[in-house]
Chain A
Amino acid sequence: MAPPAQSHRSPSPSQPSGKGEVSDLKMQLRQLAGSRAPGTDDSKRELFKKVISYMTIGIDVSSVFSEMVMCSATSDIVLKKMCYLYVGNYARYNPDLSLLTINFLQRDCKDEDPMIRGLALRSLCTLRVANLVEYLVGPLGSGLKDGNSYVRMVAAVGVLKLYHISSSTCMDADFPVTLKHLMLNDPDAQVVANCLCALQEIWSLEATTSEEASREREVLLSKPVIYYLLNRIKEFSEWAQCIVLELVSKYVPTDSNEIFDIMNLLEDRLQHANGAVVLATVKVFLQLTLSLTDTHQQVYERIKAPLLTQVSSGSPEQSYAVLSHLHLLVMRAPILFSTDYKHFYCQYNEPFYVKKLKLEMLTAVANESNTYEIVTELCEYAANVDIPMARESIRAVGKIALQQYDVNAIVDRLLQFLEMEKDYVTAETLVLVKDLLRKYPQWSHDCIAVVGNISSKNVQEPKAKAALIWMLGEYAQDMQDAPYVLESLAENWDDEHSAEVRLHLLTAVLKCFVRRPPETQKALGAALAAGLSDFHQDVHDRALFYYRLLQYKVSVAEGVVNPPKQAVSVFADTQSSEIKDRIFDEFNSLAVVYQKPSYMFTDKEHRGPFAFSEELGNLSIGAESAENIVSAQRVDANDQDLLLSTSEKEESRGPSNNGSAYSAPSYDSSAPLVASHAQSELVSLDQTLPQAPQAIDDLLGLSFAVTPTPAASPPPLRLNAKAVLDPNTFQQKWRQLPVSISQEGSVTPQGVAALTTPQALLRHMQGHFIHCIASGGQAPNFKFFFFAQKAEESSTFLVECIINSSSCKAQIKIKADDQGTSHAFVALFQSALSSFGMS
């Protein structure tokens, strides 16, 4: 709604400028306020409508606040609605005046018409004025008990609104308990759904601070609740069904019978007319069957038809959303759509964003059997449709070529592109041919013949030009006129604006020189001279470097620019499997559209309900499988875990530091996220490490007088008080070392109580010379990574410790440089851990 801040926007000439009209309105409203004459309501309506229309176009009409409130004594519902709307818009900016409204809203909450009761209650809750919350409790309480379901429905969401204004008031009034009761008993499905939404949000926000809340949050996922909701699923509206299904997808069934029961019950949801319900059901099926490989495959088969229908029959926006999900699925099961590739052929009139996703799908589903058809179709796009589409299509052909074994036909197609003599087609194709040659050098002969015919004058785009120059250098011996082409390029050095191209040119000239010295000498001279005087630092440095190399010894220079190369077998995948799994966990959400997990694009306080419990799931899986043989892959995943938990920790510090809600660091949506992000987190941890020793001194002197310091009663193993380990080394070691001990420890109840701030434990462990390098998790599961070093030698112990605060248990995993002393260390660690909270 238009806040007053907008009122300075200059209105268009046809619109009233504001001031005069507003004071007129004020006058007229005042006259009507007391009048009981027949027809008053009609004139009030006209005036109210005017006020609202001013408000909508951004004129500040807050000055008529008291008049509006005075006029609100009416039984006319349309008038009331307009008045509520007005009040809701301006109350936040006039907290004093809004006290006036409380009275009439409270009165309306007791009106005999349920519609008015509901509307008044909704307006009351949307005032968002913190000092008025006390007036909310009464009406909300009676609203939740109201005989009419419309009022209860509004009240359920009202509780959530109250919680966001003042969580303590909401909790003190015990509203969540009432909501839970309503959710499990109310005959009206929409009331149940709204209670569920409210409870999900409240419990997950509370769970960060309260044990009980996180237990309650688990209860939402318990068998009785899930079964209760599932049994009523048909009563819910389509949107509420989505919410219930989302909850069900988090449920962990106890055995496979349960899984099949749920799937049988939900089978018919796949035929629902609302695509959102279908997609939510798909998610339930996929998540439930993760542990049953065969069934999981069957599920893929089952969901195929409904999803394909949505692609072709919905709106383009809808197809876009569904295609994003299909892309995720096809990455996990490429064979799935390989016979249905025709569904992803582009229609002429489709918007570009849909076409682009369809091209990605075509690339992903291409295999030996369908490549020919797909590439034929792609070539059609490359030749026919608009330029961006042509470019994307050529890239798609290239990607298919790079992922196939039988590239014979594709290479021919690419070479045909070059003969089309359209600049943008040539440019895209050159880049592709270059990548192709790096992977399949055996094709060089055919490609070079065609590439050699391309005049470098027709290639303008930097990337394409760089690719062409690279090929000229790399295949100098096969291309007759390579030295001369390079020479003319070097002579026109100043015309070349892209540093990337100039860098490539330097290298290519040198490569050419070592193969055909006499012919290239002139080009080399020109290139080096131009390069040395280049204003771009990198170009200058490279020219200088080559110059000195050549001065030193030509054979060394050759070794540098033209070493024997191996063909690239696989180009690096940009996303780790861990990230992909996380996106899969967040199926049916924005994460899939963005192709990155939600923590990368939402602020901490806007993470949804159960986002943390996913984290827990990951943790416990990690704990189980690592007990088995430590496969390289598993350790890798653990590493990722570690990275994530460090960043989680950093974020949780964010809001408390700067207080204001939205200034928490926002993530750049385009950056290559994980790596750089995690790295910067690690660096910041690194910086805090050197301060650790002082903290220890403090603590030793003050609070830990009772605990035995290693000096007082020396255990057989002595640890280095000032141990230092940088996160990268930690990660490396964690990956390399096998688990030497894995056991369960315990934490005292007092310790668990102190765990509300994990920092307390970190300080405590530091007192025992065990340092924390990363921590994360949410109640009840916390995860810590510790390290310690022996006092005498630089032998390191690494610890992963998962503490479950509800059971007071700790899972401890130790990795050590020196396996022999790890038992001594684990004893030390256990005693340190169990003494936590005792001081």
Chain B
Amino acid sequence: MAGATSALFILDIKGRCLISRNYRGDVTSAQAEQFFTKLLEKEGDVESQGPVGYDNGVTYMFIQHNNVYLMTASRQNCNAASLILFLHHVVDVFRCYFEELEEESIRDNFVVVYELLDEMMDFGYPQCTDANILSEFIKTDAYRMEVTQRPPMALTNAVSWRSEGIYYSSNEVFLDVVESVNILVNSNGQIIRSDVIGAIKMRTYLSGMPECKLGLNDRVLLEAQGGTTKGKAIDLDDIKFHQCVRLARFDSDRTISFIPPDGSFDLMTYRISTQVKPLIWVEAQVVRHARSRVEIMVKARSQFKERSSANHVEIELPVPCDASNPNVRTSMGRAKYAPEKDALLWKIRSFPGNKEFMLAAELRLPSVTSEEAVSDRKAPIRVKFEIPYFTVSGIQVRFLKIIEKSGYQTLPWVRYLTVAGEYELRLI
């Protein structure tokens, strides 16, 4: 059963209650603080404890965002996954309202926070967590408002995510296809895990109730249409759609048709688990001269076509935690020692395809080491990058048709971007 939540708390980093909304009146904020203090007192950081805790008949679930914790308390057997997700949605809503969610913004806006908490959950049951809709009747600038607020039609509409009567003088749609590459390479240079998580993000500035239809180079669809697979068709593994997409139609004929919400949202996400070639390959050789110095030689190679280029490449090279006095030379970009991460950060602003760059570094090691040898955490090399106008999967938006009864013309803009997700290469 989906149990109801008793209360929702927003705590600061020390576990003190900033704001609480006691929906059912059976868990006090004092109890919540007590639980959290216990949690903080336990050894290790809160991070390692897991997001679910139990104390004296009450289950607490919490997530951290910047310097605040959002926490639910419940005495019933709740739906754990859904509540955690709900908390994340609450964070999203707050971020829409206050730009960034942190202790300061909560303190500055507590009246709005109370209002929002009341609309997002009633008596412990989640209600509406769509910032677009909430923002129609809970305004941050309420103080200057003259007109009386009405509950938005959207709360009651069949199309709950879009209100009627939206108007823009120029109608525009922006589509971002963002793919994030997760890869794990072991110390023998073998790829042991790789997948691509993709998302089509949309920003719509459209009037009225537009009907949209999106065409992709989805293999299943193209083959169903008679197999004119010009160019590349792709297999999407696990697709998830925004609630506005008519799932039944997708199931029957793979058409993605929808009435979009206003503003920005994720239209769909997908996962592709086929083997991906690492877009940026990094090899490192570490020579350790005990008690004097460590030498690191790194070779980074881009393995994509010349016409693309990776931007903001950042390669994080782990170094021993007791190293100091780095002396670094690079053939491209800049390298900086970041002692707080025990790493060298090698930044290359633009990394063209099919190129190779080198880095050589030498760091001092202390001549005296403590007897209890520090366990050397062998961290992996981690890489961040962005490659615009490029997708690993080859996904393409073939068309985006927008039909509205007033018959206006729109121009959809499409961008492609590939970024590094969890991109780890283990050192030898």
Listed in ascending order, the chain A residues whose CB lies under 8 Å from chain B are 1-3, 5-6, 42, 45, 49, 52-53, 56, 75, 77-78, 81-82, 85, 92, 113-115, 118, 122, 128, 148-150, 153-154, 157, 160-161, 164, 187-190, 193-194, 197, 200-201, 234-235, 237-239, 242-243, 246, 267-269, 271-276, 278-280, 305-306, 308-309, 312-318, 320-322, 324-325, 342-343, 345, 347-349, 351-353, 373, 377, 380, 383-388, 422, 586, 588-594, 598, 601-603, 606-611, 661-662, 666, 669
Contact = CB atoms under 8 A, between A and B. Distances in A.
Contacts of B24: 164
B52 A590 contact: yes
Given A56-B110, A309-B271, A342 B193 contact: yes
A421 to B, nearest CB: 9
For the complex of A and B, 9 pairs with smallest distance between CB atoms: A268-B247, A276-B82, A608-B1, A353-B50, A239-B126, A598-B77, A150-B151, A352-B48, A321-B81
A448 B129 CA distance: 61
B106 to A, nearest CB: 10
Contacts of A53: 110
B393 to A, nearest CB: 15
Most buried by B among A190, A308, A347, A594: A347
Contacts of A193: 125
Interface string B77-108: 11111101111100000000000000000000
A607 B239 CA distance: 36
Contact of A276 (B81, B239, B426): B81
Given A52-B111, A309-B271, A345-B184, A590 B80 contact: yes
24 contacts: A52-B111, A56-B110, A78-B143, A82-B111, A85-B111, A114-B150, A128-B25, A273-B268, A274-B243, A276-B85, A317-B84, A318-B88, A320-B50, A321-B84, A345-B192, A377-B186, A377-B192, A380-B187, A384-B379, A589-B77, A602-B57, A602-B75, A603-B75, A666-B56
Contact of B3 (A6, A387, A608): A608
B32 to A, nearest CB: 11
Given A239-B82, A274-B85, A268 B377 contact: no
Contacts of A280: 79, 82
Interface stretch (B15-23, B286-294, B397-405): B15-23
Given A237-B127, A239-B129, 20 more contacts: A1-B29, A2-B17, A3-B28, A6-B29, A52-B114, A75-B148, A85-B111, A92-B25, A115-B137, A150-B155, A154-B122, A190-B160, A194-B127, A309-B269, A309-B271, A315-B88, A317-B61, A601-B77, A611-B77, A662-B57
A493 B178 CA distance: 65
A161 B22 CA distance: 13
Given A56-B110, A242-B82, A312 B197 contact: yes
Contact of B193 (A49, A345, A669): A345
Given A190-B127, A246-B2, A312-B197, A606 B76 contact: yes
Nearest to B28: A3
Nearest to A594: B54
B241 interface: yes
B210 interface: no
Contacts of B25: 92, 128
A811 B19 CA distance: 55
A182 to B, nearest CB: 14
A239 B85 CA distance: 10
B79 A588 contact: yes
A807 to B, nearest CB: 26
B285 interface: no
Contact of B20 (A2, A190, A234): A2
Contact of A275 (B28, B77, B81): B81
A226 to B, nearest CB: 15
B368 interface: no
Contact of A387 (B20, B61, B375): B375
Interface string B363-375: 0000000000001
B35 interface: no
Contacts of A345: 184, 192-193
Contacts of B3: 589-590, 606, 608
Contacts of B118: 122
Nearest to A341: B193
Contact of A312 (B28, B150, B195, B241): B195
Contacts of B355: none
Q: Size range of the interface on B?
A: 35 or more
B422 A347 contact: yes
Contacts of A315: 63, 84, 88
Contacts of B266: 273
Contacts of A305: 237-238, 271
Nearest to A425: B375
B182 interface: yes
B78 A348 contact: no
A309 B150 contact: no
Contact of A197 (B4, B187, B422): B4
A189 B160 CA distance: 10
Nearest to B27: A662
Nearest to A662: B57
A268 B268 CA distance: 14
B251 interface: yes
B54 A194 contact: no
B77 A276 contact: no
Nearest to A317: B51
A594 to B, nearest CB: 7
A318 B44 CA distance: 21
B314 interface: no
Most buried by A among B110, B195, B240: B240
Contact of A610 (B1, B17, B49, B271): B1
A385 B238 contact: no
B174 interface: no
B242 interface: yes
B36 to A, nearest CB: 15
A600 B419 CA distance: 45
Contacts of A85: 111, 114
Nearest to A250: B1
Given A608-B1, A610-B1, A238 B243 contact: yes
A514 to B, nearest CB: 40
Interface string B328-371: 00000000000000000000000000000000000000000000
Given A317-B84, A603-B75, A242 B28 contact: no
A598 B48 CA distance: 24
A207 to B, nearest CB: 14
A352 B17 CA distance: 26
The residue among B20, B44, B111 with the most chain A CB atoms within 10 A of its own CB is: B111
A437 to B, nearest CB: 28
Contact of A271 (B87, B156, B239): B239
Interface in B246-272: 247-248, 250-251, 266, 268-269, 271
A201 B124 CA distance: 12
Most buried by A among B17, B88, B114, B150: B114
Contacts of A306: 238, 240
B123 interface: yes
A388 B77 contact: no
Nearest to B133: A237
Given A320-B51, A380-B186, A81 B77 contact: no
Contacts of A77: 142, 148-149
A606 B48 contact: no
A348 B380 contact: yes
Contacts of B129: 238-239
Interface in B188-205: 192-193, 195, 197
Nearest to B59: A590
Contacts of B268: 273
A272 B241 contact: yes
B150 A591 contact: no
Contact of A273 (B81, B237, B241): B241
B110 A388 contact: no
Contact of B78 (A269, A351, A384, A589): A589
